[in-house]
Structure 1
Amino acid sequence: MNNLAELQDKSNNQTINNIPDLQKLTSLEKQIIYRKYWRNNTHRQLADYFGKSNTTIQNILESALNKLKEN
Structure 2
Amino acid sequence: MSAFFYWIEDLFVNVLFAPYDFFRFMENWWGANTINWLFMIIGFLAMVYWMGQLKIFNDNGEEDKSSTSHSYL
TM-score by length of 2: 0.30
TM-score normalised by length of structure 1: 0.31
Of structures 1 and 2, the one with the larger relative CO (CA 8 A, separation 6+) is 1
In our comparison, the structure showing a higher alpha carbon Rg is 2
